[in-house]
Chain A
Amino acid sequence: MDVELRPKLVGQRIKRFEDPRLLTGAGRFVDDITPPGTLFLAFRRSDHPHALIKSIDLGSALSVPGVVAVFDATDIENDLRPAIPSSRMKGYYATPLWPLARGKVRYVGEPVLAVAAESRYAAEDALDRIQIDYESLPFANRAEDAVADGAPLLHEDAGTNAIVVRSFGRGDVDAAFAGAAFSVGATFRLRRKTPVAIENRCYLAEWDKRRSALTLHSSTNIPGVIRDVLSDCLDLPGNRLRVIAPDVGGSFGSKGSLYPEEMLVAVLARKLQRPIKWTSDRLEDLASTSQAFDEIMQAELAVDADGRLLGLKADVIGDIGAYSIYPWTGALEPVQVVSFMPGPYRLENYQARVRGVVTPKAPTGPYRGVGRPAATFAMERLIDMAARRLGLDPAEMRRRNLITAPEFPYRSASGIIWDRSGFQECLQAACDKANYDSLLRKRDEARAEGRWVGIGFASYAELTGIGSRISVAPGMPINTGTETATIRIDATGSITAAFGIASHGQGLETTLAQVIADELGCRIEDIEIQHGDSALVPMGTGTYASRSAVLGGGAATLSARVVRTKVLKAAAHLMELPVDKLVAHNGIVSAPGSNQSITFKEIANAVYAQMGRIPHNAREDLVASETYDPYFGTATSATHLAMIEIDTGTYGVTVTRYVVAEDCGRVINPMIVDGQVQGAVAQGIGVALLEEVIHDDDGQIVTASLADYLIPIAGTMPPIGIVHVETVLPPTQGGFRGMGEGGTIGAPAAIANAVSDALSAMGIEITTLPITPDRIFQLITQQGSLPQ
């Protein structure tokens, strides 16, 4: 068979290699590992939003059986340096990160002291015996207050609460607005979320006295970043500091930053020379794991009489919580809100300002979609508001403004370069898949019966697989743009491929094996993918920012290609045939047109174990280590379409139909891609309808259990219709685009538009998410149009 016609594994629904262990309880999560002699930590956390620590009285804590020691900040002051989330951004203030609060607390839930004990039960018992005296300080709870002149400062050294300030601009916005037929605008509010990975955070550090070396097992998706920063904090070289992320139970960004508890576990393992473990409970998770999406966005859009976009103005306040998170900084979310707000549209004139403001709440960090769910919510609402003013169908409004094929590459008003991607095609595909015309008829029939039914779109583009030209967080001095794959065939013929990524549900052990099997010509079952371990490659960062399929897949391809060449050269010697006559497929090297063939196993044995089979000066180990850098990123684009119905009695919103049309380039494994889209859309539906971290006026977190912070359940999720649109393959290695986050970007906006459509007869526009029954009730009563 012609090589090109041989069935490829890329593109197939290969069942996941991860599954057997995870389905039988044989997975290994950090909390499943307990070396003999382990001490367990429990944290006493601040119950004040902003206060000075006046005194700490340990009481009888140390007399609780099993308790070994109690630590506050002063006890470890000389054991480490703080982590500094630095950035090259002008005017930015980096809040230092220490494991325990030093002199002052800045949010409810901040770790103040830690008890180490022989069991978690004993450690928690001791916490109750400790008395901490605080002196309350004034604080500004709401970002709009914290940004005002004279607001109490959370970090005095910063001299301001607005530790990130940036402006963007292109063209002449004032002229655009002056020449516009009309403009639409509003203040959009996306309420604070928390990612809620079902596995809580967990860290276990072990000190190896023999080597003076530390191993940290961490539920992290950035083991390489953690290794590098702890190397500085602890003054340990990388060869004596290893960070392992074994099986990790979801992250969605929440396990993609450095945490105080993680630092402390490492510090204490060295200090006490015993294994130290901390397992978060859910209350601690909801109070202290990085939160997200807390944005106030004032935005206005100028439009001409044909519905063409002329100009956009935005003023954004991002509530970043008490600290700038390591390594991404507090700029990550708010700056992306303004840089992505122009969306996938042709728009020349843009002016935006963004301020990232510290408030006494848990730090914000990456969460699936980062900035773009908020940006897309604001922009897509404006598009629909403009369409309504014009009496134009929302699909047509988008069609007129989405960038068209000949315009690529298109430089967005904020400076993002969109490469060719199916902006228009996805809109069309979503309409076709949902049968838009008949949906409109169904909606109108339902309305005629007095039901509140609406349809909403969201179109967006995101930059994925970002290379070394820019960091994935603005100004962050860490290289996020390269990925290394080391592939080796050993003497038994089995294949090991090691990466810097850290899969935590994405199925990369399967998809990367598909890529390698195709490129190397081996059997997929002979490959083991290794990841989630800082010792595997010289520098690796992890899995985040929709990068792993693009960068990991690219590195896998490059390395596999080199190894295949070495395999073929060795085979050429063994088969006494010219190398260009040989092909590798399914673990066998053969010469088409002849009946000669040799297996990878035989080749490996000849290369490594048999002296003289291959001329000594031609013998090469069957290994390669290549690094891939896509340099630019690539555009992943999509259109979501949602149909919803509001219960006219309870004001509860039900999503009745949901369609996603997405261009994520070449699909490695459609089953896995569908799973990513479904999971991300579910999170987006949570953003739109359910999820809200609530702090009361005293700065206390009200949503401190999973009974108060609601996430989607099976009974309320609609089936998701998915269309994979493949336009032109991007110039990335393999033609892959990243796709792990998109569902969460599109869903909040699509549902907000659908609910606004359902309530359009009452003149209601949704500007705040989540859309809870209570908010709908208030909107309707404010409008004075409460139906009978």
Chain B
Amino acid sequence: MTVVSVTVNRTVYRRDVEDRLLLSDFLRNDLSLTGTHVGCEHGVCGACTVIVDGYSVRSCLLLAVQTDGAVVETVEGLGTTEALNPLQKAFQDHHALQCGFCTPGFLMACTDMLRRLPLTTDAEIREALSGNLCRCTGYEHIVNAVRDAVRKRGPL
């Protein structure tokens, strides 16, 4: 067991964890932050995407102990049901989710790409989204939502 001290969505947590505990399981089970989903546990689907120290990562491929001292952002740190943030709002406006299971992963991946990438063309948006799988939407509405979010963000 190892003590991990990690900041998640601006709250500091200290927990004693098994070294092999996945970050995804740590967030979901130890911290009860079940918004982060798990779709494959082998790094392909992107449902478990969170942001660690500013970069989007797959929480199923990280161990909780690797985040000792890190700053983690999850879907619970975005807007609330009463006050969606602009990206969440764009997802709702454009019907970019159906079952919603992949959605937290897409939101975190998009949060990262909106901070860092110009995303000026649809091709660039589609390329950036290609690390996340959605089986419901066919992606078109997600592309539309991101384009809208880029427009509201303005150029970098």
Contacts and interface: CB of A to CB of B under 8 A. Distances in A.
Nearest to A708: B44
A457 to B, nearest CB: 20
Contacts of A16: 92, 95
A251 to B, nearest CB: 8
A24 B78 contact: yes
Given A23-B79, A25-B33, 16 more contacts: A23-B81, A23-B84, A24-B35, A24-B78, A25-B35, A25-B74, A197-B101, A199-B99, A250-B136, A504-B99, A505-B98, A679-B136, A683-B135, A707-B42, A711-B135, A713-B130
Interface residues of B, number: 58
Interface stretch (B51-59, B64-72, B139-147, B148-156): B139-147
A15 B93 contact: yes
A32 interface: yes
Interface in B111-156: 125-127, 129-130, 132-143
A58 interface: no
Contacts of A27: 35, 100
A525 to B, nearest CB: 14
Contacts of A15: 92-93, 95
A20 B100 contact: no
Interface string B77-117: 01111101000100111010111111110010000000000
A714 B126 contact: yes
8 contacts: A23-B84, A32-B28, A248-B99, A249-B99, A252-B135, A671-B95, A678-B140, A706-B45
Contacts of B88: 23-24
A198 B133 contact: yes
A199 to B, nearest CB: 4
A706 B92 contact: no
B135 A282 contact: no
A196 interface: yes
Interface string A18-60: 1111111111110110100000000000000000000000000
Interface string A676-692: 00111111000000000
B12 interface: no
Contacts of B142: 714
Contacts of B41: 281-282
Nearest to B79: A24
Contact of A675 (B21, B28, B98, B130): B98
A136 interface: no
A706 B42 contact: yes
Instruction: Pick the most buried of B21, B28, B34, B79: most chain A CB atoms within 10 A of its CB.
Output: B34
- Pick the most buried of B79, B93, B134: most chain A CB atoms within 10 A of its CB: B134
Interface string B14-48: 00001011000000110001111111111011010
> Can you list the 3 inter-chain pairs with the closest CB atoms, starting with the nearest?
A25-B35, A249-B101, A22-B100
B75 interface: yes
Contacts of A196: 135
Interface string A183-220: 00000000000011111100000000000000000000
Interface in A243-287: 247-250, 252, 281-282
B interface majority secondary structure: loop
Interface stretch (A514-522, A715-723, A753-761, A766-774): A715-723
A705 B127 CA distance: 22
Nearest to B20: A121
A246 to B, nearest CB: 12
Contacts of A706: 40, 42, 44-45, 133
A680 B139 CA distance: 11
A433 B45 CA distance: 34
A121 B18 contact: yes
B134 A198 contact: yes
A506 interface: yes
Contact of B138 (A504, A506, A678): A678
B79 A719 contact: no
Given A24-B75, A26-B81, A249 B100 contact: yes
B98 A507 contact: yes
A292 interface: no
Contact of A198 (B29, B75, B102, B138): B102
Contacts of A712: 138-139
A672 interface: yes
A26 B33 CA distance: 9
Contacts of B91: 19, 23
B84 to A, nearest CB: 6
Contacts of A34: 29
A672 B141 CA distance: 10
Given A199-B99, A248-B99, A249-B37, A717 B84 contact: no
Contacts of A705: 40, 42, 44
B36 to A, nearest CB: 7
Nearest to A678: B138
- Best-surrounded residue of A19, A27, A281, A505 (most CB of chain B within 10 A): A19
B150 to A, nearest CB: 15
A25 B99 contact: no
Nearest to B143: A714
Given A21-B81, A199-B99, A671-B95, A715 B37 contact: no
B76 A25 contact: yes
A195 B136 CA distance: 11
B137 A678 contact: yes
Given A25-B75, A198-B45, A32 B34 contact: yes
B84 A505 contact: no
B100 A247 contact: yes
A282 B126 contact: no
Contacts of A504: 99
A411 to B, nearest CB: 35
Nearest to B29: A34
Contacts of B82: 20
A720 B97 CA distance: 17
> Counting chain A CB atoms within 10 Å of each CB, which of B18, B36, B81 scores highest?
B81
Contacts of B29: 34
Interface in A692-737: 705-707, 711-715, 717, 719-720
Contacts of B76: 24-25
Contacts of B136: 198, 250, 505, 675, 679
A714 B102 CA distance: 13
* Most chain A CB within a 10 A radius of its CB, from B39, B81, B92: B39
A121 B17 CA distance: 13
Given A20-B81, A706-B133, A29 B138 contact: no
B11 to A, nearest CB: 14
A771 to B, nearest CB: 19
A25 B92 CA distance: 14
Most chain B CB within a 10 A radius of its CB, from A15, A23, A713: A23
B34 A19 contact: no
Nearest to B140: A678
Nearest to A20: B81
Contacts of B97: 19, 22-23
Contacts of A671: 95
B133 A18 contact: no
Contacts of A717: 126, 138-140
B106 to A, nearest CB: 10
Contacts of A711: 133, 135
